[in-house]
Chain A
């Protein structure tokens, strides 16, 4: 473009320099090529402007606030915040929607600022170029053409007048007229020159500004990069917080999650499924024959496990199905990534169980004492409960020995179990020899009394009673509503007698 213009300029200068008629100059400028060129620039600028506007999400020309309000991201953000409020602070999803909604709102702000900047720095200048600057130049060229026409006719009239001087009689009058016409010609020439200068200046300026026009596109990309960087900053500032919130969510599945992780996450001391099952069994399962031995209905068990995984669920219906509850407890223990009595102490446990009977208890106690705090607390809780269950063994048939046969393999297993199944089969025998004495001598291993109702979450749901301590209830006044409820007053008195 520039090269072509230079050639034009050269031509123009030549003609101007030779003081030829302005008509020649005009011819130079009317050169179709340069005109076409400008028209082309106008058209592409116009189109680019139009397409770029359609890329904008906001309404062009609107003020910042209004634009921000109308962005799809803003409405998304509002929907999220609103949804979050409806779900409430207690719900993780609600909380996340609020956080996410706020982030989206910030993204919307960034987008709005970005679009404003684009509009100001790219779109408006492009529009100026296509809709004002170039049309003005073209208009000026038309004006020049008109002036040149004026000049031509003035000149023609003057030439006519000059001719008549030569042939005419009234020389003086004719000369005066010719002088007048000459003045007109000079004036028209003057106007042409002025307009031509103006036009030349505008065209010079147009072409010299090509660099500026090209810069719009650099600015566009820079603005976009800047926008994305800012958006990324927004996202990166929110992500760690929202991720942390997700991670801190306590109501992750308890089944299959490591004990320490589950306890830490839920802020509990006793694993939720353990406490829930024990509380339910204390209520309705203690006299059930073959508790922990007899299999539960698979679908019931699955349902209970799922209910325990989202601890808020109603557990009421499971009170009537102690075998499902016992099954869920066994499942929980078995699905722990590491057995409750740990891989770490596996060899020690086995060694201890091989001691002579008079030394065995002491050896087991030593190993027991080495258990990590969480494991020890939960084992103690479970063992105390199992010992309690064994007190009713005349009715439920579950002696310490029987309990350890059916439950022991869920408490301790070798790490190599999968590959060496035979070994696992044999170790389950050892496990019985480890677990049985611990249940048998629960009060010696764990002298302190255990409060089974640790968190109060699973206190008796019977609406008629408001006893917070399950074990201390006054049995006479309680009307059990659930079918299959078998915990009678005598079982508690037995326990109290034994403890005293």
Chain B
């Protein structure tokens, strides 16, 4: 179980190329890059309000391309909440989430008190749609989690996604907006890639 700390850790999972990094970057930086760069693993931090105070929302953007089970297990055991992303243009990417969900279930024991969002990204690419909205909803019902379709490209439902995820957390009262002076651009991207040091 995650150790008690002020951080609130959200882990983003999904197959390669579904737009995990794009979603996170859109949310954290408000930008969308049209480049094509796979992620190793990036962590972003943002201050949010929590129980009438502030805490750090830590978003871990995982790699979709190579899953070393040990790394995945570590991310899950440290995470408080999970965003499972697939692309509506790839049925396979939804399939890929199933073992990840099972892994979360296995490590957390139960997913009932754990906020999980199933997200169908690339909702702007209607022409290439392979997964219908109701199929995503059906999967979310089966997993007893929330569901949303988003587009990082057109900034559709991105903020709502994180809001709803935080709203699902019943143990803390969290919200994205923080009151008064501390609000603003208090976020920093803490890229592992750049900061890695000798071990």
Binding site for B on A (CB under 8 A): 289-290, 292-298, 330, 334, 354, 397, 401-402, 405-407, 409-410, 413, 417-418, 421-430, 432
Determine whether the beta carbon of A405 is less than 8 Å from that of B92: no
Determine whether the beta carbon of B37 is less than 8 Å from that of A401: yes
Chain A residues near B65: list those with CB within 8 A.
292-293, 295, 405-406
Complexed CA–CA distance, A413 and B192 (Å): 18
Complexed CA–CA distance, A294 and B73 (Å): 21
Binding site for A on B (CB under 8 A): 15-17, 36-41, 63-66, 68, 70-71, 73-74, 90, 92-93, 95-96, 192-193, 196, 198-199
Determine whether the beta carbon of A334 is less than 8 Å from that of B66: yes
Determine whether the beta carbon of B16 is less than 8 Å from that of A424: no
Complexed CA–CA distance, A297 and B16 (Å): 12
Complexed CA–CA distance, A491 and B199 (Å): 42
Determine whether the beta carbon of A405 is less than 8 Å from that of B38: yes
Can you report 25 residue pairs joining A to B where beta carbons are below 8 Å apart? Answer: A290-B16, A290-B17, A290-B36, A292-B65, A293-B16, A294-B92, A295-B64, A295-B93, A297-B92, A405-B65, A406-B16, A406-B65, A410-B66, A413-B68, A418-B70, A421-B74, A424-B70, A424-B71, A425-B192, A428-B40, A428-B68, A428-B71, A429-B40, A429-B193, A430-B196
Determine whether the beta carbon of A425 is less than 8 Å from that of B74: yes
**Of the candidates B38, B92, B196, B199, which one forms a contact with A296 in the assembled complex, judged by CB atoms under 8 Å apart?**
B92
Complexed CA–CA distance, A430 and B192 (Å): 11
Majority SS at the chain A contact face? helix
Q: A405-B39, A428-B41 are in contact. Are A295 and B192 (CB under 8 A)?
A: no
Distance between A355 CB and nearest chain B CB, rounded to angstroms: 13
Chain B residues near A418: list those with CB within 8 A.
70
Complexed CA–CA distance, A406 and B15 (Å): 12
Determine whether the beta carbon of A432 is less than 8 Å from that of B40: yes
Determine whether the beta carbon of A298 is less than 8 Å from that of B40: no
Determine whether the beta carbon of B37 is less than 8 Å from that of A429: no
Chain A residues near B193: list those with CB within 8 A.
429
Q: A405-B37, A421-B74 are in contact. Are A426 and B17 (CB under 8 A)?
A: no
Q: In this complex, what residue of A is CB-closest to B41?
A: A425
Complexed CA–CA distance, A38 and B144 (Å): 91
Distance between A285 CB and nearest chain B CB, rounded to angstroms: 15
Q: In this complex, what residue of B is CB-closest to A410?
A: B66
Q: A334-B66, A429-B193, A430-B196 are in contact. Are A405 and B16 (CB under 8 A)?
A: no
Determine whether the beta carbon of B40 is less than 8 Å from that of A405: yes
Complexed CA–CA distance, A430 and B68 (Å): 16
**Of the candidates A294, A298, A405, A410, which one forms a contact with B17 in the assembled complex, judged by CB atoms under 8 Å apart?**
A294
Q: In this complex, what residue of B is CB-closest to A300?
A: B92
Determine whether the beta carbon of B70 is less than 8 Å from that of A421: yes
Chain A residues near B90: list those with CB within 8 A.
294
Determine whether the beta carbon of A422 is less than 8 Å from that of B74: yes
Determine whether the beta carbon of B71 is less than 8 Å from that of A294: no
Complexed CA–CA distance, A49 and B41 (Å): 83
